[in-house]
Amino acid sequence: MAIRKLLLLLKPIDPYPFLQSGGVSLIKNPQVLKYLESRCKVHRNAINLCQEILNKKAVEWKPISRNDVSNPIRDVDMVITVGGDGTLLHASHFLDDSVPVLGVNSDPTQALEVEELSDQFDASRSTGHLCAATVENFEQVLDDILYGRIVPSKVSRISVKLNTEPLLSHALNDVLIAHPCPAAVSRFSFKIKSKDGYTSQKTVNCRSSGLRVCTAAGSTAAMLSAGGFVMPMLSRDLQFMVREPISPGSTATLMHSSFKPDQSMDVNWYSDHGTIYMDGCQVRYNVQLGDTIEISSDAPVLNVFLSQGFSQVRSRY
């Protein structure tokens, strides 16, 4: 399909509101203030450069802030996000499998800066794991897409049903089910079953700080930080981990594993309150005592242009 109509979805131009009304800074450390001002400038410059490059191409495009997106994205051939992984994750909740997305990391972490300022504060910027482009290679990546030299990869997402009703959003990275108060105990049980209803393991009863389920794309995020394993990017399996289980006993080995596309996870919630968090704080749904939650990979894939090593690449010749 020819790509002629694009949507440029932007992280807010000034994403760090560190100034109060009247121009008084909320940040008292001058080094931190200078750092945040630099990040804003780098992001603005990245947006300007992307727009200049798009103006040179035989495409129709329009920009929109990610904060202004409230309806499914339709009637475009491709979405380009300018920000980081958070901006691409935000866009994914408004995309089905018909519109591909390219992420541009507008503010990548600078190793020398992190080393220089490590004794003062955390100078990490954006990881951009899902972003195939930066300002340095955006035009080349865009040309490769427009001329059909690279095609998007089909990345798995998570489908969630609450009391048998499908939720509208699908998670690209992960789903966390937990009590809304991080200090409270989450009580729930879960079991893995096949699509034909066969249960492959006994019910696991848990008292913990919650349950996380991730896709392959999300296996390098919170799941990895918690001690999970990295999955091949195009895997359709889902990985799960019970967070901080209390006295798991003989079920300890069942607290972290994965399940296949022909399987699903059934969760029964036994706390008074709970929240389903999708992709961090992107989307959330409330749950209550007695609710049932079904988790599977039965969601439309997201077509994402990935960086070299992940992408499906066609010959340039």
pLDDT (tens digit per residue) in 197-216: 777 678 999 999 999 999 99
pLDDT (tens digit per residue) in 26-69: 677 778 888 888 888 999 999 999 999 999 999 999 999 999 99
Q: What 3-state class would DSSP assign to 106?
A: coil
* Dihedral Cα 41, 44, 45, 47, nearest 10 deg: 160
- Nearest CA to 101 out of 297, 301, 283, 316 is that of 301
**Domain boundaries 158-299, CATH class:** mainly beta
Out of 14, 68, 75, 85, the active site residue is 85
- Environment class of 248 (CB within 10 Å of its CB; exposed 0-12, middle 13-18, buried 19+): middle
pLDDT (tens digit per residue) in 98-133: 999 999 999 998 898 888 888 888 889 888 999 999
pLDDT at position 95 over 70: yes
Long-range contacts of the stretch 38-44 (C-beta < 8 A, 24+): 39/15, 39/107, 39/125, 40/13, 40/14, 40/15, 40/16, 42/106, 42/107, 43/11, 43/13, 43/15, 43/82, 43/83, 43/106, 43/107, 44/13, 44/14
Structure tokens at 200: 């492959």
pLDDT (tens digit per residue) in 229-265: 999 999 999 999 999 999 999 999 999 999 999 999 9
Residue 85 annotated to the active site: yes
- On whether the pTM is more than 0.75, the answer is yes
315 pLDDT tier (thresholds 50, 70, 90): very low
- 82 contacts 9 by C-beta, under 8 angstroms: yes
pLDDT at position 14 over 90: no
**Domain boundaries 5-151, CATH class:** alpha beta
Least confident of 173-182, 272-281, 304-313: 304-313
pLDDT (tens digit per residue) in 184-193: 999 999 999 9
Domain spans of the chain? 5-151, 158-299
Residue 138 CB coordination number (10 Å): 22
Instruction: Name residues whose C-beta falls within 8 Å of residue 222's C-beta, 6 or more positions apart in sequence.
Output: 173, 174, 176, 212, 214, 280
